[in-house]
Chain A
Amino acid sequence: MNKPNFAIEAHALSKHVDGQAILVRVDLQLECGQCIALMGDNGAGKTTLLKCLAAIKKPSSGTVCWFGRPAATEVSERRLIALKPHEDCLYTHLTAYENLMFAARMIGLPNPANRSQDILWKLGLSRVSDTPVRQLSKGMRQRLGFGRAVIHDPPIWLLDEPFAGLDDSSRNQILQIIREKRRTGGAICFSTHQDLDIEELDAQVVQLHQGTTFLSQPNASSAFFNRKRAS
């Protein structure tokens, strides 16, 4: 029997900060075309888990592999993942377009100008492309931050509450982009507090509680998850 080709695989991942356990022996596998929703209370470890999966936080123990190889052993492998953290990661004195151009150039995309325009158009931000980020609304910044993260269209997307603070129209635009990515084989892991996000993306739920995953149910909405937990 062939071993599944996991896009991301975390094994016995633990993270301790100042003696406090943030993650405790977390195991997680994410295949291409699969979508996982991380749920849990504030402080459950969702953001830390996403940052460990993205290899920008070093775990205290355990391993993270991208496509079967230890994560980010070479800097060029960072092109395999996109992480949209809770922060926007945008330079407020640069325009929306300049922020995307900077990201595209740092990643080394072959045609940064076209790619930046394309992302602005997809996110409905073309009309504010020359506006400094500090003058954009919270929702626009959120969308732009999402665009900055996925500008290189990598196979693995890690999204920390990607729909937080968005209106319906903006939310739908990002949902559409995520669905399209999943349809074309992308591996997506996102954190959320909303049942609706899970249902609309038909995501597998992974519940985090005090740093431990305690339920992972394929193609389960959180309603299903809640019923299961109640029973």
Chain B
Amino acid sequence: MNVLDTAKQVGWLLHKDLVVEYRSRLAWPVMFLLGIIVTIVFSLQTSLPREYLPSTASTMLWLATMFAGLVAIDRTGIAEDQDGCSVGLSLYPLSGSTIYVAKFLVNLCAILVLLGVLVPIFSLVTDLSLAKHVGAMVIVAVTGSAGLAAVGTLVSNLTRDLQQRGAVLSVLLLPLLVPLILAASEATRLIAVDEVGTQWWRWVQLLVAFAIDFATVGIVLSHYLREE
């Protein structure tokens, strides 16, 4: 199998998952609903002095993204297990790593779209200004989402055959995501306080390293996880 064939397979898997999600509406509507509700409830329940708003609101944004993103990650895995489709996938000439990359991209798309909805709502309800540095916010959103998708897809693969999959997924994921949430929140706070400099860049580097590390572990482990 050459790289072009593998890229094509990833593309068709991604296409299939997005078409299935568009028609079934299995994961994304629940994800949006949860994200928006958490965002609004958080913002209504906190009345902070102006100087504390950026740090608290940034953390809330990423917590809301994490909780809602978990729903999408969990349901993406469940959808593949219905009617023996995961057995069907294992019969095609593609490696576990190829499937991991495709699922990672599907989850990344879901979380990026979620952030695309949540960030404007968050800016509106918390009066947090993120529009001054749109490029910086896009970088944080992409790297943060990539980290969340990389860990989520990996743990979703690991818990595939467990009965209490949803609960185990959350229990395993939440501790792993602590560094990501801290880094993403801090990078977002620095954007909100108009300090997009060296310190901001360090947090972004941490997000990039986190995403690359877990994506690499996911790609390597998926190769072995595919064998029953």
Q: Which residues of A contact B (CB under 8 A)?
A: 54, 56-58, 75-79, 81-83, 85-94, 98, 102-103, 105-108, 132, 148-149
Pick the residue among B12, B24, B88 that contacts A148 (CB under 8 A): B88
Is B93 in contact with A85, judged by CB distance below 8 angstroms? no
- Interface residue range, chain B: 20 to 34
The tally of CB-CB contacts under 8 A between chains A and B is: 79
Which residues 11-26 in B have Cβ within 8 Å of A in the complex?
12-13, 16, 19-20, 23-24
CA of A83 to CA of B93 in the docked complex: distance in angstroms? 13
Apart from A57-B228, A106-B13, list 13 A-B contacts with CB within 8 A: A56-B228, A76-B1, A83-B91, A85-B88, A87-B83, A90-B85, A91-B20, A92-B82, A93-B23, A94-B20, A106-B9, A108-B8, A108-B93
CA of A148 to CA of B153 in the docked complex: distance in angstroms? 27
CA of A208 to CA of B82 in the docked complex: distance in angstroms? 29
Is B1 in contact with A56, judged by CB distance below 8 angstroms? no
Given contacts A93-B24, A94-B16, A94-B19, contact A88 B84 (CB under 8 A): yes
Is B12 in contact with A78, judged by CB distance below 8 angstroms? no
Is A75 in contact with B94, judged by CB distance below 8 angstroms? yes
Across the interface, which residues of A come within 8 angstroms of B93, CB to CB?
75-79, 106-108
Is B1 in contact with A75, judged by CB distance below 8 angstroms? yes
Is B95 in contact with A85, judged by CB distance below 8 angstroms? no
Is A90 in contact with B83, judged by CB distance below 8 angstroms? yes
Is B87 in contact with A85, judged by CB distance below 8 angstroms? yes
Is A108 in contact with B83, judged by CB distance below 8 angstroms? no
Nearest chain B residue, comparing its CB with the CB of A76:
B93
